Amino acid sequence: MKHLILLFIFGWTPFLWSQNNVIELYQHSGQLYASEDFARFIPTTDSLITQVRSPGLLLRMAIVQHRMGEDKIALRYLKELSNIKACVEIDTFSVFEDLKQQKRFRRIRKTFQQNCVPIHNSQLAFQLSDPKLIPEGIASHPTSGHFYIGSLAKNKVVKYHQDTGEQNFTESGQDGLWSVLGMKVDPTGKELWLCSATGADPAHQDAGLFGFHLEHGTLIDKVLLPETTEPHLFNDLVFAERKILLTDSEAGKIYEWIRGAQTVTELATQTPLVYPNGIAIDSDQRFLFVADLLGIRQINLQTRTEKKIRSKVPAHLNGIDGLYFFDRSLIAVQIAGQGRTRIVRFHLNKKMDAVRKMEILQTAHPEFVLPTTGTIYDGHFYYIANSHLRNLQPDGTLLRTAELKGTKVFKIKIP
């Protein structure tokens, strides 16, 4: 779970190499920044942001370029950062103090201030009692109003309904469950399928796909990867006819599983994925959308061709955890500037290969503690508002338990 936690916190972005090289390059960039080796930081980080314009890297490049005396380049990065509607509290950066008299900087500063104006469309749907749950995944039944929340820390699933409250759907570690990540109720409304993984033992980073009967919580099937020393993290899933498609973030792969098969098989991609996370599918089950650290990729499941989703409007398409298809749009839980999370809707064109409009649904909620994933139910987007993921250590222990609160699930009416 270590990489998962670090990526959520820092929202970093990679270069189009293999996953291991990307991680090494980003870590090297961070080390150069921390040691103020700016002469080497600039070319190293340039190789990252040529592929994807991450808010975190744009901000660092602006800071470094200004400190190196390149104010025009620094302002260009800040301008780009403000145009993609990232919220950056620019006045908190004393490094830019001597730019405040410049007219161009004042315009950029004004845009940042507008970007940081809170957008509140959420309301509390319900709250669970256990502050040590550390939730990551949530699913909903299409008609009954039941919600299912998975626990990273307690290796179980909790069920909630507004009439009956909360109860364990599975017990901790039931049927070999590890930490519970992404989950979905199947199209029949009779089964819950979820991703599970363990990161407690670095030498045995196992992952599995588990299915349970909704009626009585018994196991339908579980599909485990063969034991390996290679890292795996099954992260999220979607249904496509008789198949389940799921992301393996640590391996940088997409797998598919056909009901009854003994194991999963890799869904080959034309270009490497880098920490694939959220995954969505359109209503016709033709296009698969996968969010990785480079952005969002569209995969045509009929032709097995793929495209990187581009944006026709200023926007960044990385830093995404949960990803959901709704009425020719993608709803995302996204990190967007100084580690802040927002809920955003990307409206797609007819070919569904480009963003034609970006709509921010929620920003800067005071109750946010690293939101992770969500689910669509009855015209609303329900999402985990306070995962407390930072408090969970790779070995499963919790830090600063006094600051933990019971899981809050917010909802937004989808416009």
Same-domain check for residues 167 and 186? yes
Those residues with Cβ within 8 angstroms of residue 290's Cβ, 6 or more apart along the chain or in another chain: 247, 254, 273, 276, 278, 279, 296, 297, 299, 323
Burial classification of residue 332, based on how many CB atoms lie within 10 Å of its CB (0-12 exposed, 13-18 middle, 19 or more buried)? buried
Same-domain check for residues 268 and 377? yes
Percent of the chain with pLDDT strictly greater than 90: 83
The pLDDT value given to residue 20? 66
Helix (H, G, I), strand (E, B) or coil at 226: coil
Those residues with Cβ within 8 angstroms of residue 287's Cβ, 6 or more apart along the chain or in another chain: 281, 298, 299, 300, 301, 352
CATH code, 342: 2.120.10.30
Is the sign of the CA dihedral 378, 379, 385, 389 positive or negative? positive
State which of 96, 115, 134 marks the end of a domain: 115
Phi/psi for 58 (5° steps) reads -60, -40
Same-domain check for residues 279 and 224? yes
Same-domain check for residues 154 and 255? yes
Those residues with Cβ within 8 angstroms of residue 44's Cβ, 6 or more apart along the chain or in another chain: 25, 28, 29, 32
Same-domain check for residues 168 and 209? yes
The pLDDT value given to residue 51? 74
CATH code, 61: 1.25.40
State which of 98, 115, 132 marks the end of a domain: 115
The pLDDT value given to residue 226? 79
Q: Give helix 38-49 / helix 55-67 axis angle, nearest 10°.
A: 150
The pLDDT value given to residue 227? 73
State which of 115, 148, 165 marks the end of a domain: 115
DSSP tag of 117: S
Helix (H, G, I), strand (E, B) or coil at 395: coil
Q: What does pTM read for this prediction?
A: 0.93
Same-domain check for residues 66 and 200? no
For residue range 157-172, what is the model confidence (pLDDT) as tens digits? 999 999 999 999 999 9
Query: Which run of H or E residues covers position 63?
Result: helix 55-67
Q: Which amino acid is at 401?
A: T
Same-domain check for residues 126 and 97? no
For residue range 352-402, what is the model confidence (pLDDT) as tens digits? 999 999 999 999 899 999 999 999 999 999 999 999 999 999 888 999 999
Same-domain check for residues 210 and 98? no
Provide the CA 299 distance to its chain's centre, in angstroms.
Answer: 18
The pLDDT value given to residue 23? 72
Count of structural domains, the chain: 2
The pLDDT value given to residue 395? 83
Q: What's 255-285 look like in SS3?
A: EEEECCCCCCEECCCCCCCCCCCCEEECCCC
Helix (H, G, I), strand (E, B) or coil at 173: coil
Those residues with Cβ within 8 angstroms of residue 214's Cβ, 6 or more apart along the chain or in another chain: 141, 146, 185, 189, 190, 191, 192
Distance CA 198, CA 193 (A): 17
> Hey, what are 158's tokens?
């909790």
Distance CA 249, CA 278 (A): 9
Same-domain check for residues 310 and 183? yes
Alpha helices in 176-255 (DSSP H): none
The pLDDT value given to residue 184? 98
Same-domain check for residues 324 and 263? yes
Task: Please compute, for residue 49, the number of CA atoms within 13 A of its CA located in the half-sphere on the CB side.
Answer: 21
Same-domain check for residues 245 and 376? yes
The pLDDT value given to residue 165? 98
Low-confidence stretches of the chain (pLDDT < 50) are 1-16
Structural domain range at position 98: 2-115
- Select from 227, 228, 240, 233 the least CA-distant residue to 283: 240
Distance CA 368, CA 349 (A): 31
Same-domain check for residues 246 and 136? yes
